[in-house]
């Protein structure tokens, strides 16, 4: 695994797909992307002088995941080298948003993109302020780079046990499977 910062605020961490990370179809099992996002997040902070361990042990502050999302674009397969691009998309108060891109290193193909939202909590699992010493590192994060997003609209759900409404994509959602 290697880590390198880039000019656009992302830190790039490479992982190689292990056989155990693939499913019966020969592609990376979807939940593994969240594990890779965590690897990218830890390495992103480490590259900026922040240690999760020190934050928890010395400062009594944890950053708990309260929301996690991933959009899958193309499959990764056994032995592919995947670059996990990570950055702080924004921070407000005790809430930190991380943004991720999983890119196949061989050809630069975007495999997945996602985000996680974290809230700072203390040892009693109560929300707390992010310690001041981390502000300079995390405050410098600007809004995510402009990129096309699939517009979402509120559409009625189908079936008697579905929620009243769900978000459904309305734009082109092409996949390269």
pLDDT digits (tens, 9 = 90+) for 128-147: 999 888 887 775 544 433 33
- Give me the residue label for tokens 């579905």: 162
End-to-end CA distance of the chain: 26
pLDDT digits (tens, 9 = 90+) for 64-98: 999 999 999 999 999 999 999 999 999 988 999 99
More confident residue, 39 or 169: 39
Sheet holding 62-72, edge to edge: 2-5, 11-16, 81-92, 95-104, 110-121, 62-72
Superfamily (CATH H level) for 2-149: Hotdog Thioesterase (3.10.129.10)
Cβ atoms of 110 and 74 within 8 Å: the answer is yes
pLDDT digits (tens, 9 = 90+) for 2-18: 455 555 789 999 999 99
Active-site positions read 23
Q: Quick one: tokens of 55?
A: 């934050």
- Give me the residue label for tokens 């502050």: 61
User: Where along the chain do its domains lie?
Assistant: 2-149
């Amino acid at each position: 695994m290697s880590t390198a910062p880039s000019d656009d605020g992302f830190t790039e961490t490479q992982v190689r797909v292990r056989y155990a990370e693939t499913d019966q179809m020969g592609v990376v099992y979807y939940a593994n992307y969240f594990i890779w996002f965590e690897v990218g997040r830890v390495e992103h902070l480490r590259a900026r002088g922040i240690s999760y361990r020190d934050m928890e042990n010395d400062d009594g502050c944890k950053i708990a995941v309260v929301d996690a999302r991933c959009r899958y674009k193309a499959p990764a397969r056994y032995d592919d080298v995947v670059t996990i691009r990570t950055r702080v998309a924004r921070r407000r108060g005790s809430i930190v948003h991380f943004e991720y891109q999983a890119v196949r290193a061989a050809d630069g193909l975007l495999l997945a993109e996602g985000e996680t939202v974290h809230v700072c909590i203390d040892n009693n699992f109560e929300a707390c302020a992010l310690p001041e010493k981390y502000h300079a590192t995390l405050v410098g994060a600007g809004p995510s780079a402009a990129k096309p997003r699939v517009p979402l609209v509120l559409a009625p759900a189908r079936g008697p046990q579905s929620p009243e409404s769900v978000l459904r994509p309305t734009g082109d959602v092409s996949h390269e499977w």
